[in-house]
Structure 1
């Protein structure tokens, strides 16, 4: 009976030893830094650090932009106030015209005679029926694109 108990005890110890060996291998694979959960945790940790840096940079940029926008808004409001004052002052000016007896206005200069490249020539149709005005405008657009 002692021999059977010793054999069962030895078998149980060998079984526990094999079980511990298998668990040790699984635990080593589980915590492997390249393929296991340890590697995933290391990668996630690096990504969290990168995201923290990016968030800090975005917050700094937003604060700077907000300050600039506040300054520009204040300038725009000041300009609007000045324009309102100028428009209000413009309403107070007297209206000049023939009814008030002011001096007659100067006559505008006579327009130049139509010559080459004027509106009269630009409106003349070409042989294909299109106006030279559109052709000259197209040429100007092409020159400006270069």
Structure 2
């Protein structure tokens, strides 16, 4: 009975050793940089770095475009205001065929003495 227990525990230890050996080989393949998961992680890490740089460039470009667009919008609004003033002044022009009237206004003077002074 004692002998059977020792053989069983020896077989269990041998099985555990084989299991550890198999796991060690799988882990080694898993971590290989060229073919295993380690390579995939390295590639993904490099892609994340590239995407971060691309995002920073895109943000800088968007900021520049926003400033340019804001300046152009302000310039267009100023031009629109000038056009509105010009259109408003066109309404004051006489219609075709209508003579231009010139209005002169004189100040009323109460006495001739004030005019002489």
Q: Same fold (TM over 0.5)?
A: yes
Could you say which residue in structure 2 is the equivalent of 1:144?
none
Q: 1:43 Cα shift?
A: 1.0
Could you say which residue in structure 2 is the equivalent of 1:65?
65
Q: Counterparts of 2:71 and 2:36 in 1: how far apart (Å)?
A: 53
Q: TM-score, normalised by structure 2?
A: 0.73
Q: Counterparts of 1:100 and 1:23 in 2: how far apart (Å)?
A: 106
Q: Kindly provide the CA deviation profile for residues 63-102 of structure 1, in whole angstroms up to 9, marking residues without a partner as x.
A: 11011001101101101111111122222234574x639x
Report 1:88-99 matches (<5 A).
88-95=88-95, 97=97
Could you say which residue in structure 1 is the equivalent of 2:54?
54
Q: 1:8 Cα shift?
A: 2.5
Q: TM-score, normalised by structure 1?
A: 0.60
Could you say which residue in structure 2 is the equivalent of 1:100?
99
Corresponding pairs, count: 100
Q: Which runs of 5+ in 1 are unaligned?
A: 102-146
Q: Which runs of 5+ in 2 are unaligned?
A: 101-117
Question: CA RMSD for the aligned pairs?
Answer: 2.0
